[in-house]
Amino acid sequence: MSSEELVLEKILSTGLVGIKKSDLKREFTSFDLDQTLNSLVNDGKVCVDKKGSAYYCWTPEVYLKYLNNVDPKFRILNDRIKFIERKLDGHSSSLRDAINSLIELLKAENIHSQKTLVNLDNFKIEFDTILTKSNNSIGWIGLGDVRNELSQKFDLNKDEFYELVEQLVNTYHNEYELSTGGSEGVIVRGLLHGYVRSI
Indicate which CATH number applies to the domain containing 19. 1.10.10.10
Residue 83 and residue 26 share a domain: no
- Do residue 109 and residue 64 come from a single domain? no
Residue 57 has pLDDT above 70, yes or no: yes
Instruction: Say how far apart CA 86 and CA 91 lie, in whole Å.
Output: 9
Q: Are strands 141-142 and 47-51 parallel, antiparallel or unpaired?
A: unpaired
pLDDT category at 110 given cuts 50, 70, 90 is low
**Do residues 80 and 53 both lie within one domain?**
no
Q: Which amino acid is at 88?
A: L
Are the C-beta atoms of residues 118 and 138 closer than 8 Å to each other?
Answer: no
Q: In CATH, what number is assigned to the domain containing residue 166?
A: 1.10.10
Check residue 40 and give its pLDDT. Answer: 94
Query: One-letter amino acid identity for 122?
Result: N
Do 42 and 60 belong together in one domain? yes
Confidence of residue 109 (pLDDT cuts 50, 70, 90): low
In tens, the pLDDT along 72-107 reads: 888 998 889 888 888 887 777 777 777 888 888 777
Do 181 and 192 sit in the same domain of this protein?
Answer: yes
- Domain of 110 in residue numbering reads as 71-116
Nearest Cα to Cα of residue 122 among 156, 148, 157: 156
How far is 110 from 125, CA to CA, in rounded Å?
23
75 and 65 in one domain? no
In terms of domains, do 163 and 97 share one? Answer: no
Domain count, the chain: 3
Asked if the model's pLDDT at residue 112 lies above 60, the reply is: no
CA distance 80 to 105: 36
Tell me, yes or no, whether 63 and 75 share the same domain.
no
Are both 29 and 60 inside the same structural domain? yes
Listed in sequence order, the DSSP H helices in the chain are 3-13, 21-27, 33-42, 60-70, 72-116, 120-134, 143-154, 158-171
- Band the pLDDT of 179: cuts 50, 70, 90: very high
Q: For residues 58 and 101, state if they share a domain.
A: no
CA 70 to chain centre: 44
The answer on pLDDT for 184 being more than 70 is yes
Top mean pLDDT of 45-59, 76-90, 137-151 is at: 45-59
pTM over 0.75: no
The answer to whether residues 28 and 46 belong to one domain is: yes
Domain boundary among 50, 82, 116: 116
Q: Do 76 and 18 have their domain in common?
A: no
